[in-house]
Structure 1
Amino acid sequence: MNTIALVGRLTKEIELRDVGEGRFVTNNTLAVRKTFKKEGVPEADFIPFVAWGKRAELLEEYCSKGDLIALTGKMQSRSYKTESDETKYVVEMVVEDIEFIQKKAADKPAQEVTTV
Structure 2
Amino acid sequence: MNTVSLIGRIVKDIDLRSVGDSRMVTNNVLAVRKSFKKDGSTDADFIPFVAWGKKAEILEKHCGKGDLIALNGKMQSRSYQTNENETKYVIEMLVDDIEFIQKKVKT
Q: Does 2:28 align with 1:28?
A: yes
Measure, in 1, the Cα distance between the counterparts of 2:87 and 2:20.
Answer: 25
Partner of 2:84, secondary structure, is coil
Partners of 1:43 and 1:54 lie apart in 2 by: 32
SS of equivalent to 2:45: strand
Give the structure, 1 or 2, with the largest relative contact order (CA under 8 Å, sep 6 or more). 2
Question: What are the residue-to-residue correspondences of 1:1-116 with 2, within 5 Å?
Answer: 1-37=1-37, 39-105=39-105
Q: 1:84 and 1:22 mapped to 2: Cα distance?
A: 28
The code of the aligned residue for 1:2 comes to: N
Residue 20 of structure 1, CA deviation: 3.2
Write the letter of the residue equivalent to 1:76. Answer: Q
Letter in structure 2 aligned against 1:24: M
Q: Secondary structure at the match of 1:36?
A: coil
Q: Percent identity?
A: 69
RMSD: 1.4
Structure 2 gap segments, 5+ residues each:
none
One-letter code of the match for 1:83?
N
| Change in 2 beyond 3 A, CA 1:100/1:82 | same
Q: TM-score of the superposition, structure 2-length normalised?
A: 0.95
Can you give the 5+ residue segments of structure 1 that lack an aligned partner in the other structure?
Answer: 108-116
Cα deviation, residue 35, structure 1: 1.5
Give 1 or 2: higher strand fraction: 1
Alpha-carbon distance in structure 2 between the residues aligned to 1:78 and 1:36: 32
TM-score with structure 1 setting the length: 0.88
Q: How far apart are residue 95 of structure 1 and its match?
A: 0.1
Aligned residues: 107
